[in-house]
Chains A and B, each alone.
Chain A
Amino acid sequence: AQSVTQLGSHVSVSEGALVLLRCNYSSSVPPYLFWYVQYPNQGLQLLLKYTTGATLVKGINGFEAEFKKSETSFHLTKPSAHMSDAAEYFCAVSPNDYKLSFGAGTTVTVRA
């Protein structure tokens, strides 16, 4: 069985500051890892994913994440927050099959 833990249900950052969203997973096999973003009243949009290869993954809107197997982590970062980054972010894993298991989500607010 696999699970995903997102540390912090709510993160508040100043515009221009670093955004760091934490995700840890438990899986019996190396998983495929995803970060999705959800804007209000919209579906989920893929930010980035790790499947194989380079462990530092770059995504859309300036986000990136690093897969650290030894730490079972896949934290999401963005060097400089923008007001448009205010949304809910979900980490998800797909260990060896098709269905995604999601974390509880982290809501990001950006202060002007």
Chain B
Amino acid sequence: GAGVSQSPSNKVTEKGKDVELRCDPISGHTALYWYRQSLGQGLEFLIYFQGNSAPDKSGLPSDRFSAERTGGSVSTLTIQRTQQEDSAVYLCASSFGGPQETQYFGPGTRLLVL
């Protein structure tokens, strides 16, 4: 079946602009996660959704970052007023929920802020 998809695959933006990153999880997966992968910080957890609720937003680096999930499916990560340090690969994952469940990752969105 279809895996996790993310769009766009690459995004180049200018400092100060807003960007939206999209994630389509595997059908039936109730949990959705956003991670960020950067050279300096490795793989970092950003936010977790169970259904449409986000019980843990603790990994969001600043109030410029927000995310929502609708219909228990698609999620959008929004970065406002982008900064150069936001440049990274943003990875989305989904699972059936629960700490023992496998998280399936999308290919990521590579964001470059000039």
Contacts and interface: CB of A to CB of B under 8 A. Distances in A.
A43 B31 contact: no
> Chain A interface: which size bin?
20 to 34
B34 to A, nearest CB: 10
A51 B98 CA distance: 11
Given A32-B99, A43-B4, A51-B100, A98 B31 contact: yes
B5 to A, nearest CB: 10
Nearest to A95: B99
A57 to B, nearest CB: 13
B43 A90 contact: yes
Contacts of A80: none
A43 B43 contact: no
A98 B105 contact: no
Contacts of A32: 99-100
B56 interface: yes
Contact of B102 (A46, A90, A97, A102): A46
Given A46-B102, A102-B43, 18 more contacts: A32-B99, A32-B100, A36-B105, A43-B4, A43-B105, A43-B107, A49-B100, A52-B100, A90-B43, A94-B100, A98-B33, A98-B48, A98-B50, A98-B97, A99-B33, A100-B45, A100-B103, A105-B42
8 contacts: A42-B107, A43-B106, A43-B108, A49-B102, A98-B33, A99-B45, A99-B59, A102-B42
Interface of A: 32, 34, 36, 41-46, 49, 51-52, 90, 92, 94-105
